[in-house]
Amino acid sequence: MNGNRQNIWVAVWGTSLCLLLAIAGAWAQSPSAAPTGPKLAEEEFKNIQALKGIPADQVIPSMQFIAASLGVECEFCHVAHANEKDDKKPKVTARKMIEMMMAINKNNFEGHREVTCYSCHRGSTDPVATPIITDEEPRAAGGEGKKPDAAKTSLPAADQLLDKYLAAIGGAVALQKITSRVQKGTLTAFGGQHFSVDVYSKAPDKRVSIMHLQGGDSITAFDGKQGWLGVPGRVHTMSTAENDAARIDADLYLPAHLKTLYQKFSVDAGEKIDGHETYMVVGRTEGQPPLRLYLDKESSLLLRLVRYAETPLGRNPTQIDYADYRDANGVKVPFRWNLARPGNRFVIQIEQVQQNVPVDEAKFAPPSVAPKPPAP
């Protein structure tokens, strides 16, 4: 039963058992720790060599990046309950690989992180070194991703697309009239388990989603400043990268705010999503990971959002697909969203939406729990 419950956390947070144990370990310490500048990896963990000097809260995201790049679980390199041990050969190899990757970038790319684990591994432990002969037609000159200039010049401007999206949602005036939103629905994790979910939003940027599991509630929340995750008896304060993502999700007026969130926007042809042609608008700000928005060519609605959490080794992507837009108090609200990360996805289908109803502020604040040591 315990194992089953852990599988559920795995499904929802994109974490494997090993990661949960690592997080649980960090949780046991973090709530009480006074913030005396960012703690370094080697100060919090026992056996850091290659990643010395990175902030401690970047270790787990870096590990997620490694696992996704190689298409493996944590257990491929780690012994359960003992991530510090070096007794699995792949871990020792991986440490050398981290050093190699850093050296490649330092010596060839002026220290810019151009080559990552994924550049070679592409989701496999064994990189392919020989070109593959395929049955497909060779690509047109210019290579993958490079669109001919003619197609580029006929693309609409980003401003225009973002304006159309805002209008399609119902417009800024209608949007600002929404002060709260309460949604009730069902979460389906991959593997087919269903759980009921409640999502409370309050303008401008408070949000909490509560998933009801047999063993208690699993909570993801943003109180307007700080995000946190909660499971019975434990609270985890979000890292900076997690916080940035939670802030985007919590913004009740996101369609109206998008233009102000990034310094620059560019437009490209987007991929087809669920049969709909899209434009891809990319928001960029110096020193931050980009945000990709896929807007329906016909309806102008947002069909997909891809955001990235920066880690020292590479970026961890999260993709959210929005569908089943319905009218609620003059604005269009997606009733279904599908959240996917490498190796994990879940769908939330909303059954009921209420807006402009009172929502208790206390819902967004983390409960003050006495941290329990992780279960043995």
The answer to whether 98 contacts ligand HEC (rule: CB under 6 A) is yes
- Of 70-78, 141-149, 246-254, 356-364, which segment contacts ligand HEC by CB under 6 A? 70-78
Residues with Cβ within 8 Å of 350's Cβ and at least 6 positions away in sequence, in order, are 183, 184, 185, 199, 324, 333, 335, 336
What does the alpha-carbon distance between residue 241 and residue 64 come to, in Å, rounded to a whole number? 13
- Residue 46 touching ligand HEC (CB under 6 A): yes
Q: Tokens standing for 33?
A: 């720790």
For residue 334, count other CB atoms closer than 10 A to its CB.
18
Q: Which of 11, 12, 24, 48 binds ligand HEC (CB under 6 A)?
A: 48
Nearer to ligand HEC, 48 or 166 (CB): 48
Q: Which is nearer to ligand HEC, 74 or 309 (CB)?
A: 74
Task: Find out whether 324 and 182 touch, Cβ atoms under 8 Å.
Answer: no
Q: How far is the CB of 7 from ligand HEC (least distance, A)?
A: 15
Answer yes or no whether residue 27 interacts with ligand HEC by CB under 6 A: no
Binding window for ligand HEC (CB under 6 A); candidates: 1-9, 18-26, 227-235, 327-335: 18-26
Gap between the terminal Cα atoms of the chain: 15
For the bound state, the minimum distance from the C-beta of residue 283 to ligand HEC, rounded and expressed in Å, comes to 28
Q: Which of these ranges, 2-10, 86-94, 232-240, 272-280, lies near ligand HEC under the rule CB under 6 A?
A: 86-94
| Residue 219 one-letter amino acid | I
Binding status of residue 297 toward ligand HEC by CB under 6 A: no
- Contact yes or no for 256/170 (Cβ under 8 A): no
- Sign of the CA dihedral with 122 first, then 128, 131, and 136 last: negative
Q: Is 313 one of the binding residues for ligand HEC (CB under 6 A)?
A: yes
From CA 164, how far away is CA 161, in angstroms rounded?
5
d(CA 270, CA 272): 7
Instruction: Give yes or no for residue 101 binding ligand HEC (CB under 6 A).
Output: yes
311 binds ligand HEC (CB under 6 A): no
Which range in 5-13, 116-124, 134-142, 215-223 contacts ligand HEC by CB under 6 A?
116-124
Residue 94 interacting with ligand HEC (CB under 6 A): yes
Q: Is 121 in the site for ligand HEC (CB under 6 A)?
A: yes
Tell me whether residue 58 or residue 183 sits nearer to ligand HEC (CB atom).
Answer: 58
Residue 116 vs 300, nearer CB to ligand HEC: 116
CA dist., res. 114 & res. 112, Å (int): 6
Whether the CB-CB separation of 48 and 38 falls below 8 Å is answered with: no
* Residue 304 interacts with ligand HEC (CB under 6 A): yes or no: no
Q: How far is the CB of 234 from ligand HEC (least distance, A)?
A: 16
Considering only residues 49-68, where is the footprint of ligand HEC by CB under 6 A? 49-51, 59-60, 63-64, 66-67
Per rule CB under 6 A, is residue 315 in the interface with ligand HEC?
Answer: no
Q: Are 50 and 117 in contact (CB under 8 A)?
A: no
Contact 184, 351 (CB under 8 A): yes
Residues 6+ apart with CB under 8 A from 293: 165, 258, 280, 281, 282, 283, 302, 304, 305
What residue ranges bind ligand HEC (CB under 6 A)?
A: 16, 18-19, 22, 45-51, 59-60, 63-64, 66-67, 70, 72, 74, 76-78, 83-84, 90-91, 93-95, 97-98, 101, 115, 117, 119-121, 125-127, 313
